[in-house]
Amino acid sequence: MSLLLHLSDTHFGTELPHVVQALLALAHQRRPDVLVFSGDITQRAQVSQFEAARQFCRDLGIARMLALPGNHDIPLFDVAARLFRPYVRYLDAFGPTLEPVLETDAFLLIGVNTTRASMHKNGAVSPVQAARVANRLRQARGGQLRVVVTHQPAEVGRPEDVHDRLREAEPALQAWSAAGADLVLGGHIHLPYVLDLAARETPTPRAMWCVQAGTAVSSRVRHGTSNSVNFIEWRQHRGAERRHCLLERWDYDERAGAFTAASTRTLALA
């Protein structure tokens, strides 16, 4: 069994120290094999905030990590940096690339940089990016859970969130599903949810799920939720056994002073 911790939108600079400590305790207890960090690592892309986030990642004690920038990881008020060096601080802390690929025996994780320095909040996936990811998915090895990671959500479940959806997401989702993707992980709107992408009006050609994380440790909780993270448990399947993974959401409980299991769902895969 292999375990992945998915967290997002830490917004270091607005982190809650007691929630940080609770998440560290949970990670040390569960001991995941891989960390996926789907952007908005900092609040204002300041060097000190990136340093705090990097130390937090070290303290988690997870051997392998895939991280992506979010829109908050691009300087907002430093206009020159935003125009000419938007990712220099992010790359100093979490480089060397904006679109990492992490491969283990259990996982194929493909990062897509959906942020754009020309956009304030919104993100996009280009046809070139979509094709690159699809090509890499077709090279997956048998037994791997195939995961694409974005910052902005690839799909939304509420009408009020449509404006936050990743631009040009639909053709990308269709291509990634056809190429073998199982999950698309994201964040950005601080709302944890899971959507069956093969059960929509425009279904994907094979089973694929959109899995969103809430804000992990920031005071910027929204939508009546709490701080939360996701765990994805994957067991390699053999023979005629149907593929599936287990998704667990863990929310911070103020009364307990700890993250507690909030929901568990088995996701059927192609």
Mean pLDDT, rounded, for 155-169: 97
* pLDDT at residue number 119: 84
Cα dihedral 72, 19, 247, 63 sign: positive
Q: Please count the other Cβ atoms lying within 10 Å of the Cβ belonging to residue 91.
A: 16
Q: SS in 3 state form for the chain? A: CEEEEEECCCCECCECHHHHHHHHHHHHHHCCCEEEEECCCECCCCHHHHHHHHHHHHHHCCCEEEEECCHHHCCCCCHHHHHHCCCHHHHHHHCCCCCCEEECCCEEEEECCCCCCCCCCCCECCHHHHHHHHHHHCCCCCCCEEEEECCCCCCCCCHHHHHHCCECHHHHHHHHHHHCCCEEEECCCCCCEEEEHHHCCCCCCCCCEEEECCCCCECCCCCCCCCEEEEEEECCCCCCCCCEEEEEEEEEECCCCEEEEEEEEEEECC
Instruction: Classify domain 2-268 by CATH architecture.
Output: 4-Layer Sandwich (3.60)
pLDDT higher than threshold 70 for residue 159: yes
* pLDDT at residue number 117: 87
Cα gap 24→20, rounded to integer Å: 6
Dihedral Cα 96, 144, 264, 227, nearest 10 deg: 0
Cα gap 173→252, rounded to integer Å: 31
Give tens-digit pLDDT for 44-73.
999 999 999 999 999 999 999 999 999 999
Determine if residue 261 is left, alpha or beta; phi over 0 gives left, psi from -120 to 50 gives alpha, anything else beta. beta
Q: Per-residue confidence at 76, pLDDT binned at 50, 70, 90?
A: confident
The pTM of the full predicted model, rounded to 2 decimals, is: 0.97
Give tens-digit pLDDT for 205-247.
999 999 999 999 999 999 899 999 999 999 988 766 799 999 9
* pLDDT at residue number 216: 98
**Which one is predicted more confidently, 142 or 154?**
154
Cα gap 98→214, rounded to integer Å: 22
Contacts (Cβ under 8 Å, ≥6 apart) of 48? none
Q: Do the bridges between strand 258-268 and strand 244-253 make them parallel or antiparallel, or are there none, so unpaired?
A: antiparallel
Cα gap 220→108, rounded to integer Å: 31
Contacts (Cβ under 8 Å, ≥6 apart) of 180? 137, 138, 140, 146, 206, 270
C-beta of residue 185 within 8 angstroms of C-beta of residue 36:
yes
Mean pLDDT, rounded, for 194-215: 98
